[in-house]
Amino acid sequence: MKKLVALVLAMMLVLGVGASASALTVAFSQIGQESDWRTANTDDLKSAITTEGWNLVYDDAQQKQENQIKALRNFISQGVDYILFTGVVTTGWDEVLKEVNDSGIPLILIDRMPDCADKITYAAAFGGDFVEEGRRMGYWAGNYLKSVGRDQEQINAVRLEGTTGATAATERTQGMDEALKDFPNIKIVASQTGNFTRAEGQAVMESFLKSQPDIDMLFAENDDMALGAIAAIKAAGKVPGKDIIIIGCDSVKAAFEAIVAGEMNATIECTPLYSKFVVSCIKDLEAGKTFGKEVQHPEEFAYDATGGIAYTADGSKTTLKAADVINDRKY
């Protein structure tokens, strides 16, 4: 009997039965490293995959779509077990994602969704609700102005948009414009891309400060651009957070620090931490479970200096105080 058990175990080892999860190879096509958010997103996924004992094939596309297309084709020829994908821009993925589908490798979409999502097959999708994040930026601004008695005042706002053509940028812009219809005293007087980076956020804010004589408010579609803009505002002799109200998006630790220092006013959360969803999704897929096409959004909050400012259309969600959570924020 003992000999039979040993023989069966040996055969299982040779055939790889029961060892599939530990032998997985997970490939990840990342956009680049443009922001603190992106660094946290990369670290989170890389470390979770290796902690599981899975092999990681990682590619940093350095913000270039052609690099991502090349990486996806490499993943296919390597015959990886899973592909994690977020696209630097929304369009232009139809052909390569069809090739991924033809290879039979399960595709997991994270963060930014491609516009061809309804035409391709994917195993699951996890990402932020960017339209809602944009709306929240607008609602926070309008409700904050009310709370300080400035809701009848004409407010000149400038906007730093994210990377042109990225869903995170176009959808945040869309949501913000939608919300601001409820606050006609806030007028966007200039809006330009800062490419989601501190350096470009700073440069574009410098030019806004030269071309716009009277800026009361800044909407930055990510915290990095807000932080770059703070440097530009200081250099122009103005006081960030006071002369110019600054609203960012992401809720990275550096933004909490700026809020606590009084140099920034609010940040709307967009979590970079997808590893817990992705790891359990892969395990579920290995066990034969399937997921629908719906994008799963994590629960997200908003933070400011005082707490208690409503940031949703129905007023049901109010801000948390950045100072209360800063020590728990890891990125």
Cα–Cα dist 271/266, whole Å: 15
Report the residue from 250, 263, 269, 304 that binds ligand AHR according to the rule CB under 6 A. 250
Cα–Cα dist 44/56, whole Å: 13
Report the residue from 28, 196, 219, 277 that binds ligand AHR according to the rule CB under 6 A. 196
276 φ, ψ (degrees, to nearest 5): -65, -35
* Least distance CB 20 / ligand AHR (angstroms): 32
Please tell me the number of Cα atoms within 13 Å of 305 on its side-chain side.
Answer: 15
Which of residues 81 and 250 has its CB atom nearest to ligand AHR in the complex? 250
* Least distance CB 286 / ligand AHR (angstroms): 27
* Least distance CB 166 / ligand AHR (angstroms): 7
The token pair at 89 is: 């821009």
Question: Does 137 participate in binding ligand AHR (rule CB under 6 A)?
Answer: no
Q: What residues numbered 28-47 form the site for ligand AHR, per CB under 6 A?
A: 34-35, 37-38
Question: Does 254 participate in binding ligand AHR (rule CB under 6 A)?
Answer: no
Which of residues 54 and 122 has its CB atom nearest to ligand AHR in the complex? 122
Pairing of strands 82-85, 55-60: unpaired
Closest CA to 291 of 140, 106, 52: 106
Question: Does 161 participate in binding ligand AHR (rule CB under 6 A)?
Answer: no
Residues in CB range of 87: below 8 A, 6 or more apart: 31, 65, 68, 93, 112, 113, 114, 167
Cα–Cα dist 292/276, whole Å: 18
Cα–Cα dist 9/11, whole Å: 5
Report the residue from 61, 108, 110, 111 that binds ligand AHR according to the rule CB under 6 A. 111
* Least distance CB 85 / ligand AHR (angstroms): 13
Question: Does 222 participate in binding ligand AHR (rule CB under 6 A)?
Answer: yes
Closest CA to 160 of 149, 168, 152, 150: 168
* Least distance CB 128 / ligand AHR (angstroms): 6
* Least distance CB 103 / ligand AHR (angstroms): 26
Question: Does 75 participate in binding ligand AHR (rule CB under 6 A)?
Answer: no
Binding site for ligand AHR (CB under 6 A): 34-35, 37-38, 111-112, 168, 196, 222, 224, 249-250, 270
